[in-house]
Structure 1
Amino acid sequence: MVRLSLGLGRDNTRIFLGMIFNEGGLGIYQTLWPIYIASLGASPPQIGLVIGLLGLCRLVYLVPSGMLGDRIPPRTLIVSARLVAAFGTFLLGLAQSWWHLIPGVFIMSAGTIAFPALSSTIAERAGNGWARTRAFTLIYTVAPSAAFLVTPTLGGFIAEHVNLRALLFISAGLTATGAAIFSTIERGSVSTQEGPPVTYRSALVERPIRLHLLLMFATIFVLTLGVTLAPNFLQDIHAVSIERIGWLGSIAAIGSALLGLVISRVAPFRRPLAGIALGITSVAGMLGLLLTGRSFIWFVFAYLLRGGFMVAWSTFYAALGEVTPDRLRGRAYALAELLAGAGMAVAPFVAGWLYGWRPQAPMVAALLTIPLLLLAIATVARLLRTDQPPAPTLVEEHV
């Protein structure tokens, strides 16, 4: 019945289910992650340091991920990496001071190695055109949204009535469960390519791939800059309780699901770059409401719009799938994770220092930069139309 309703096929349906648990492990603590770090004695710059360090560690592990994908079967790589992530998350729960988080962050971030292989598997199983965009939307937007509908609210309740530390232990269990589901997909094989070896440079010399990757880095950096310390802002400036901040994380999931529905149902937004622009614009609305809001209902609407972050990020994988030849897919998705990790690594450092100067500053900086992102998206779309003819029949195809 699940397969019929999703229309993803055997492996992608199982990846969809695994992602619900995997993202549930993230959702149970992500909204309260900066507050957990602060509870261990960290100042705003130190909070930014820990969050940014996670992004830096992602970069360290993503550099060899493409080469590992050439040598290790996809299922083995995915399951092993996610189990390591579960162990690292467990260690985070044991921390007694903010700097004790560093070993757990380093180990947990190794789980990022799974995602280029996961993206390549999704693309391979999904087919071409709109079917591929739909698969990425369901797996990278709808599945996380389903998890985030429940887990942030649950996390806020547990944090309020038990403690913040318990969230990390629950997260480790959910992540391990996701890995167990991933272990049921087909083993897959190490791909072999005829001709010259495929390297990261092979992907970067392709102009459409390069433009998408640069745009992805800029987008993740700017949006992360704006939203990273939003929970601390709500707690410090507006005295919003931890439990209510957890509710807002679930509200964001509703926003992601609604925006995902718009992308799947409204024809102009089926083009990935248009969907990305929609997500970015939604986050701009969130930042504006947080800066001007004076009551909790304003923050509810703000976090409804925060769902655009997840939509924008996930839609980049569909956009890359449209412009990447099959032989370069593994390297392109590894580079996507690498540059997204770079954006997530740098932005929290900047956000932490700006927040220490003035709590509103990270959101103001992101809000002022978003128009430049939208201009860049329009420019890339125009350049791609000039470089190569579009394939509207694939984009407009109905499933």
Structure 2
Amino acid sequence: MLGLFLILPVFALYAEGLADVTPLLIGLAIGVYGLTQAVLQIPFGMLSDRVGRKPVIIAGLLIFAFGSVVAASADDIWGIILGRALQGGGAIAAVIMALAADLSREQRRLRIMAIIGMSIGFAFAVSLVLGPVLNSWIGVPGIFRLTAGLALSGIVVVLFVVPTPEKSVFHRDAEAVPGQFGKVLAEPELLRLDFGIFALHMILTALFLAYPLVLRDLGLVSESHWIIYLPVMLLAMGAMVPFIIAAESKQRMKSVFIGAVAALMLSLFGLYVFKSSLIGMAVGLLVFFTAFNLLEATLPSLIAKMAPGERKGTAMGVYSSSQFIGAFGGGLLGGWVHARFGIEGVFLFCGGVALLWLLVARGMSDPKQLSNFLLPVGSMDLQQASLLEGKLTEVDGVSQAVVIVEDGIAYLKVDLALFDEAALDPYCVSEA
């Protein structure tokens, strides 16, 4: 992910010197990885169920490295578009989640997934600061070559550091189930969240078609853009913490979420208004990333809360695909808007998308403070599973229980404030 993000703060400036370039093609080059990611990540996850996790991860990293080399060698915009599309073809996110599930016990899996999500967020924050610095040292082609090296080092880690699971099995809490797509896509609350991550990454991708150009026009050379990005990212990460606490601990998730979308919208219109002021652009970006980081953290949490436990993997698969399609759409539409209406039009476009999201999000239900809990229950028939579901829902704090016979697992929704985990011990079958 670091390799995908590193060019975001510098590519719009670099691409102006390429052959055959247009603003639309610049946007396509930045966002096209999202299209191939969205198309391939779920099929790759399913393939890994058949041939194993590590072979698919290694193949994906090789594809990613090859795409990076293609982009580094390109002397026109079309070569970079091809390279970025190939980078996205290394779509291993779903496979990595499945491998993490293979290597972790059900009760610890949510924590593992959260750590992986945090590492992606950290990679993005680092890329905004590191991208301009690396650009001044090695240029964008050098960044692509570095990205290829990172992918190859990832293969070494997979082969020699990451444990190999004794067996790979299907995990419906971490992987998509084809037969469940219809149910997930028919759930209004989940669709509202899918639209949210789609809009968020559409805005992010489109924004960086314009923002670096404004900084340059205000007299800040590209290698110094980190002077803006570093304090903004540090302050934004700190500023979001009280809101996360209010959302999760004080059960104000809906109001915090709606407020963050509104702040995102206002920051984007503010960037349009204050585009002639370097201080105004820095403050606008600070508000933007405070809201962005908050939304990026709360959206997957909301998906986990609202999706039934046995459909969580499918819901997260649709959510992740929506994110990547949003990145592709942001590049394509943002590039078109830039070509037709200039930099100012990009800021207004982003603000308009945020306004639409605000209107969609206003109708969301206030989520219940429920968490997912997986309980291994062993083999049983359908009648025994039905009886067990009834017994499990009688346990303090358990609001929903679904036993999937073929998995030998009970998928629970629990209120952690009331949940008596020890009461589940008689029903738990140890994973010896």
Q: Same fold (TM over 0.5)?
A: yes
**How has the CA–CA distance of structure 1 residues 193 and 214 changed in structure 2, closer, same or farther, with 3 Å as cutoff?**
same
Does structure 2 retain, via aligned residues, the 8 Å contact 1:203–1:210? no
Q: Which residue is 2:375 aligned to?
A: none
One-letter code aligned to 2:16: A
Confirm or deny that 1:351 pairs with 2:328. Answer: no
Q: Which residue is 1:164 aligned to?
A: 140
Q: Which has the larger radius of gyration?
A: 2
- CA RMSD, 1 decimal: 3.9
Q: Residues of 1 paired with 2:344 and 2:418: CA distance? A: 42
Which protein, 1 or 2, shows the higher relative CO under an 8 Å CA cutoff with sep ≥ 6? 1
Q: Which residue is 1:234 aligned to?
A: 214
One-letter code aligned to 1:187: T
Per-residue CA deviation, residues 111-138 of structure 1 (Å, 9 max, x unaligned), is: 22x1123345557848669x93x65554
Identity of aligned residues (%): 18
One-letter code aligned to 2:132: G
TM-score (norm 2): 0.70
TM-score (norm 1): 0.75
Q: Which residue is 1:379 aligned to?
A: 363
Could you tell me how far 1:205 is from its partner in structure 2? 0.9
Q: Which residue is 2:426 aligned to?
A: none
- The structure 2 residue matched to 1:287, chosen from 254, 268, 277, is 268
Q: Residues of 2 paired with 1:363 and 1:93: CA distance? A: 30
Could you tell me how far 1:245 is from its partner in structure 2? 2.7
Q: Which residue is 2:82 aligned to?
A: 103
One-letter code aligned to 2:320: E
Q: Which residue is 1:394 aligned to?
A: 416
Q: Which residue is 1:333 aligned to?
A: 316
Q: Residues of 2 paired with 1:63 and 1:378: CA distance? A: 30
Q: Residues of 2 paired with 1:230 and 1:395: CA distance? A: 46
Confirm or deny that 1:140 pairs with 2:117. Answer: yes
Q: Decide which structure has greater strand share.
A: 2
Does structure 2 retain, via aligned residues, the 8 Å contact 1:116–1:330? no
Return 254-263 or 225-234, whichever deviates more: 254-263
Confirm or deny that 1:185 pairs with 2:168. Answer: no
SS state at 1:359 partner: helix
Gaps of 5+ in 2: 370-397, 401-412, 420-432
Q: Residues of 1 paired with 2:139 and 2:72: CA distance? A: 11
SS state at 1:394 partner: coil
Could you tell me how far 1:239 is from its partner in structure 2? 4.1
Return 44-53 or 373-382, whichever deviates more: 373-382
Does structure 2 retain, via aligned residues, the 8 Å contact 1:117–1:330? no
Confirm or deny that 1:365 pairs with 2:349. Answer: yes
**How has the CA–CA distance of structure 1 residues 257 and 86 changed in structure 2, closer, same or farther, with 3 Å as cutoff?**
farther
Q: Residues of 1 paired with 2:230 and 2:5: CA distance? A: 9
Q: Which residue is 1:205 aligned to?
A: 183
Q: Residues of 1 paired with 2:224 and 2:247: CA distance? A: 36
Per-residue CA deviation, residues 205-233 of structure 1 (Å, 9 max, x unaligned), is: 14686632453234433552452413344
Confirm or deny that 1:49 pairs with 2:28. Answer: yes
Q: Residues of 2 paired with 1:126 and 1:272: CA distance? A: 29
Does structure 2 retain, via aligned residues, the 8 Å contact 1:31–1:246? no
One-letter code aligned to 1:58: Q
One-letter code aligned to 2:140: L
Does structure 2 retain, via aligned residues, the 8 Å contact 1:151–1:250? no
Could you tell me how far 1:92 is from its partner in structure 2? 1.2
Q: Residues of 2 paired with 1:149 and 1:162: CA distance? A: 20
**How has the CA–CA distance of structure 1 residues 228 and 161 changed in structure 2, closer, same or farther, with 3 Å as cutoff?**
closer
Could you tell me how far 1:107 is from its partner in structure 2? 1.6
Does structure 2 retain, via aligned residues, the 8 Å contact 1:28–1:155? yes
One-letter code aligned to 2:12: P
Gaps of 5+ in 1: 1-21
Could you tell me how far 1:109 is from its partner in structure 2? 0.6
Q: Residues of 2 paired with 1:173 and 1:66: CA distance? A: 24
Could you tell me how far 1:60 is from its partner in structure 2? 2.9
Q: Which residue is 1:5 aligned to?
A: none
Q: Residues of 2 paired with 1:340 and 1:362: CA distance? A: 19
Q: Residues of 1 paired with 2:323 and 2:210: CA distance? A: 20
- The structure 1 residue matched to 2:57, chosen from 67, 73, 78, is 78
